[in-house]
Amino acid sequence: KTLFPNTQVTIGPVIEDGFFYDFARKSAFSTEELQAIEKKMKELVKANLPVTRKEMARDEAIEYFESVGEKYKAEIIRDLPESETLTLYTQGDFTDLCRGPHVPNTGHLKVFKLMRTAGAYWRGDSKNEMLQRIYATAWADKKQLKDYLYRLEEAEKRDHRKIGKQLNLFHFQEDSPGIAFWHPKGTAIWREVEDYMRDSNTRYGCTEIRTPLIADISLWQKSGHWDKYAENMFMTSSENRDYALRPMNCPTCVQVFNHHLHSYRDLPIRMAEFGVVHRNEASGSLHGLMRVRSFTQDDGHIFCTESQMEAEVIKMVEQCFEVYRDFGFVDFDVKLALRPDNRIGSDEVWDKSENALANALDNSGVKFSFLPGEGAFYGPKIEFHLKDSIGRSWQCGTIQMDFSMPERLGAIYIDENSDRKVPVMLHRAIVGSLERFIGMLIEHYAGLLPVWLSPVQVVCLGITNKQDEYLHEIHTKLLKNGFKAEIDLSLPTNKGMTILGNTTMSLSGNKGNEILTSISSIWILYFILQ
């Protein structure tokens, strides 16, 4: 405000590893202006200005901010609940609206850095004004800042979009914005992930189903998705009927359950589906494989009785941990997301659901934290947050408990007293979106995937073209023995004989088998196969 008095201050929350602040001004901040702002910040730190807190009545606070030309602050105050205690914080001649608390003075804020700028709509609505956002980060000491900047540098090197292009895995184009075109090598990785999950589901008692990609909007209205996600659903019509591409797989899975009348003896019924879903995400939010408009979920839906639900959750937690470790993730946090303000179902049902999930985690020996208000609109959920090789956290799998959707969609079973009962429905995704999970794997391994996941496990090459016929013979043997092999007859200078270096690989491509280490030449591999 000292440097640019005509700039209005809007909103600036804490985010992971830093914070941002949005400003209303006519033009974007230049690099020189960012440098000037950072210099001024350092001056304010040296000034060691005290930070003071003051409570203020709503009308008084609105009047104050309007008097200093801060219309956005006044608008925020008008939209706050009547019960909210309004607090203002002042340092020097600057006063801001904030819930707090704050440090006692600016002298505590020595280690920070302005990172970048971006455009952002006021309150995230594209109908509103475009604001100028400044991203920044702050740390307790210089070492922590240095480590953070190193992680950012590593993250840029590991960007799955860059590596995906280098390794010829996939691409995006404007003909299908937000939907990946998978190349043969990328598809090979996809198949390994899908086949692994299919095998895991079989071992944990899930039978696989396939359900329609589109359904009449009446199904989405019954399930409750229409009220929540209509704006993000792709529509189509045929013969005077309106349909929607499914944004989630749950309602169509319930139809498979409903097709037969089940006894309590049949339960639990575990269904798994690699279901393609479509969501009309805003174009500005799309990000490689991490945020797309069409993706495949490794969905699982378990229909069970109330007495079975805790045991089923324990089984799913076990499967999640096994899957993550097999893919190379050994550090993860587990969180229990509790009831949101905007929800369906009685408090009694929510109490029962939250307690069941918490008990299942306790009985699994899993440490977890709570996320108040972060549950789905129909039920609480367990979230699995995976740490990658450079310390970033990725929210991955979820286990959700749902008493509402089965009832809304008419799911029933016959209990031991011959009464009709509504089953409990457990929603489960382990890797979640296959697209996003593959993006995570690429960045976790910096493109150097384990051999069992690699789209090319062996390259056959020779010293001169005299070996071409023999190389073709070896290549054929490798393919017949289940290796993902390629042949290279180009003979560039200094190519040499090493094909994999010091690595590990499974002779059948299966993680569970004995592994062969330090393969140094195609000849060794050939004699082993013989």
- The catalytically annotated residue of 73, 225, 246, 250 is 250
Distance between CA atoms of residues 482 and 94, nearest Å: 68
Is 293 considered catalytic here? Answer: no
For residues 465 and 338, what is the distance between their CA atoms, to the nearest angstrom? 66
Enumerate the β-bridge partners of residue 117. Answer: 134
Q: Which residues pair with 414 in a beta bridge?
A: 263, 420
Among this protein's residues, is 427 annotated catalytic? yes
For this structure, is 320 an active site residue? no
The radius of gyration computed from the CA coordinates of the chain, to the nearest angstrom, equals 28
297 annotated active-site: yes
Q: What is the DSSP string of 259-289?
A: TS-EEGGG--EEEEEEEEEE----GGG-BTT
- Residue 185 known to be catalytic: no
Annotated active-site residue 125? The verdict is: no
Beta strands in 10-129 (DSSP E): 14-15, 18-24, 51-55, 87-91, 94-97, 111-121
The whole-angstrom separation of Cα 295 and Cα 247 is 10
Residue 46 known to be catalytic: no
Assess contact for 295 and 180: CB atoms under 8 A: no
Choose the catalytic residue: 133, 301, 315, 428: 301
Q: Say which of 381, 392, 428, 436 is annotated catalytic.
A: 381
Cβ 381 vs Cβ 337: under 8 Å: yes
How far is residue 378's CA from residue 20's CA, in Å, rounded to a whole number?
32
Say which of 299, 392, 402, 428 is annotated catalytic. Answer: 299
User: Strands 331-337 and 424-433: what pairing?
Assistant: unpaired
- Among 279, 436, 444, 484, the active-site one is 279
Q: Residue 400 in contact with residue 348, Cβ under 8 Å?
A: no
Among candidate residues 381, 386, 341, the one with its CA nearest the CA of residue 361: 381
Please tell me which residue in 225, 278, 293, 427 is annotated as part of the active site: 427
E-assigned strands of 124-210? 130-139, 170-171, 181-182, 207-208
Choice among 297, 319, 400, 457 that is catalytic: 297
**Which uninterrupted H or E stretch holds 230?**
none
Report, as residue numbers or ranges, the catalytic residues: 250, 279, 297, 299, 301, 381, 427
